[in-house]
Amino acid sequence: MPTALLLENLHPHARTILETAGFDVVTRTGALDEAELVEALAGVQVLGIRSKTNVPADVLAAAPDLEVVGAFCIGTNQIDLHAAASSGIAVFNAPFSNTRSVVEIAIADIISLTRRLTVFDKEMHAGVWNKSATGAHEVRGRTLGIIGYGNIGTQLSVLAENLGMSVVFYDTSEKLALGNARRMNTLDELLETADVVTLHVDGRAGNAGMFGAKQIARMRPGSIFLNLSRGFVVDYAALRDAVLSGHVAGAAVDVFPVEPKRKGDPFESELRGLPNVILTPHTGGSTEEAQEAIGQFVAHKVRDYLMTGSTNLSVNLPNLALDQRPDAHRVAYLHRNVPGVLATINATLAEHGVNIEGQLLATRGELGYVVTDVSSRVPTDVVDVLAGRPESLRLRLLD
C-alpha cells in the first residue's frame, strides 16, 4: 500500500481519491521546512504540496522511497524538477484548474482600484463620509496591458473586452490574439499604452526581477499595476516609491518574494499601509471551486501514474498516456536517453522467455521512458539486469 503525505491544507477530494485507490494517506495542515520534510518523507511514495513547501535536490536525495510529487497549484518552481527526474520521481501540477479564479480576482482588483474602493472603504470604517468622484473612473474605455498571454492572460483578455476595455498584450512567445486584443512589439510599448498593467508570467528563473524601477517609470502617470504571478519578478521597493509619488495610482499584489509558511505567521512587506493598494495572501487561485478542481486533477494524475505508469501532463518526465490493462503485466522503465536502450530491454525479456504484448516509448531531452506490457510476471533476473544498467533511473513493475 503506497503512503501519501499531503501538506498545506489540500482539498479533501485529494485524500478521498487516493484513499479510494488504496493509498495510506497522511495529512498535515501547513508547509514543512527542509529538515522537517526529510524526516516526514521516510517511507513515503507520494508527496502532495502547494506553493509554500520547497522540494530541493537534497530533500529528494534523502527520500529514496518517493516516486511522485503532486503540486496542487500552477507553479512548480518550488521543486527541483531536474533533480526529481534524475531520481526517477514524476512531478504533476494543475496548470489550468484555477485559471478562472485568478482571472476573476484580477477583474475585481482592476475595478476596485480604478474606482478607489479601497480608499472609500478605509475612510468609511474610520467614520469619514467623503462622497467624491475625484480619481474614480469607469474601466470601460480604458486600456488593459497584459504581460504574459498564456492561459490566464488570454481568458482575462476576453473578459476585459466584455467590460468595454481595450486590450494590449506582450509575450516573448508568439501568441494568437483573441478578440480585438493587440500585440505590442516591446514591453516598453505596452507600458506607454496601458492604463492598467497586469503581470501573468511564469516562474522561470529568467523572469526574476523583470519588473523594476525602469519599467515602472515607463508606465503612464496615474496607471494601475497588478501582480498575480510570482513575487520575485517585481521590485516592490520601487513600486512603493511610485505609489507614494502618485506615479502609480493603485496596485494589487497577491504574491511576494518571501511568504509566511503557515496561517497566522507574521507578514512583512514594504507595501503595507499604502493608499489604494490591495494586498492578498497568495489567494488569487484559492476559491473553493478552484481548490476542488485542483484536488481532483492532481490526485487523479498521481493515482494514474502509480497504478498505470501514465505520465500524461507530467512536467518533468516524457509523456505517455496509458490505460490499465488488467490482463497484462507492465514494466515502466525510466532511463537516460542513450542509444540501444529499447533493444536491450527487448533482448533481456526475450532471453528470459517473456513475451511482449505492447510497448510505448517517449523521450524528453536527456530522458527516455519505455512502458512494456508482457503476458507473464517479470522474473527477478530481468529486473536486476535492467535496474543495474548504467542508464537506468527507475524501474517499476505494475501488475
Q: Which of 279, 299, 328 is the last residue of a domain?
A: 279
Could you tell me if 93 and 76 are in contact, meaning their C-beta atoms sit under 8 angstroms apart?
Answer: yes
Mean pLDDT of 246-274: 94
By annotation, the residues acting in catalysis are 230, 259, 282
- How far is residue 18's CA from residue 73's CA, in Å, rounded to a whole number? 18
Threshold 0.85, pTM exceeds:
no
- How far is residue 383's CA from residue 74's CA, in Å, rounded to a whole number? 36
Percent of residues, the chain, with pLDDT higher than 70: 100
Q: Do 191 and 302 have their domain in common?
A: no
Q: Is the pLDDT assigned to residue 326 strictly greater than 80? A: no
Q: What is the CATH number of the domain that holds 79?
A: 3.40.50.720
Provide the pLDDT for residue 225: 98
Provide the pLDDT for residue 203: 83
Could you tell me if 74 and 50 are in contact, meaning their C-beta atoms sit under 8 angstroms apart?
Answer: no
Q: Which of 221, 254, 279 is the last residue of a domain?
A: 279
Q: Do 296 and 327 have their domain in common?
A: no
Sheet of 392-398: strand order equals 356-364, 367-374, 329-336, 392-398
Q: Do 359 and 223 have their domain in common?
A: no
| DSSP per-residue letters across 12-79 | HHHHHHHHHTT-EEEE-SS---HHHHHHHTTT-SEEEE-SS--B-HHHHHT-TT--EEEE-SS--TTB
Most confident of 134-138, 163-167, 256-260: 163-167
Averaged confidence pLDDT in the chain: 95
Neighbouring-strand partners of residue 146:
169, 198
Q: Which of 250, 279, 308 is the last residue of a domain?
A: 279
- How far is residue 184's CA from residue 249's CA, in Å, rounded to a whole number? 23
Q: Do 292 and 360 have their domain in common?
A: no
Q: What is the CATH number of the domain that holds 350?
A: 3.30.70.260
Q: Do 124 and 271 have their domain in common?
A: yes
Phi, psi of 102 (to 5 degrees): -65, -40
Q: Do 217 and 158 have their domain in common?
A: yes
Could you tell me if 239 and 219 are in contact, meaning their C-beta atoms sit under 8 angstroms apart?
Answer: no
Mean pLDDT of 25-48: 95
Could you tell me if 190 and 171 are in contact, meaning their C-beta atoms sit under 8 angstroms apart?
Answer: no
Q: Do 243 and 363 have their domain in common?
A: no
Q: Do 105 and 235 have their domain in common?
A: yes
The set of cell numbers assigned to 380 is 527477478
Q: Do 200 and 57 have their domain in common?
A: no
Strands 24-27 and 367-374: unpaired
CB atoms within 10 A of CB 125: 8
| The total number of structural domains that make up the chain | 3
CB atoms within 10 A of CB 241: 15
Mean pLDDT of 64-68: 97
- How far is residue 30's CA from residue 15's CA, in Å, rounded to a whole number? 16
- How far is residue 291's CA from residue 14's CA, in Å, rounded to a whole number? 10
Q: Do 190 and 334 have their domain in common?
A: no
Residue 376 three-state SS? coil
Mean pLDDT of 368-382: 94
Provide the pLDDT for residue 399: 80
Domain containing residue 182 = 99-279
Could you tell me if 69 and 89 are in contact, meaning their C-beta atoms sit under 8 angstroms apart?
Answer: yes
Q: Which of 61-65, 90-94, 235-239, 257-261 has the lowest mean pLDDT?
A: 257-261
Q: Do 78 and 38 have their domain in common?
A: yes
Higher pLDDT, 75 or 214: 214
Q: Do 80 and 200 have their domain in common?
A: no
Could you tell me if 156 and 198 are in contact, meaning their C-beta atoms sit under 8 angstroms apart?
Answer: yes
Helices (H), 257-372: 288-308, 341-351
As a dihedral over the C-alpha atoms of residue 113, residue 116, residue 118, residue 120, rounded to 10 degrees, the angle is -170
As a dihedral over the C-alpha atoms of residue 333, residue 335, residue 338, residue 341, rounded to 10 degrees, the angle is -20
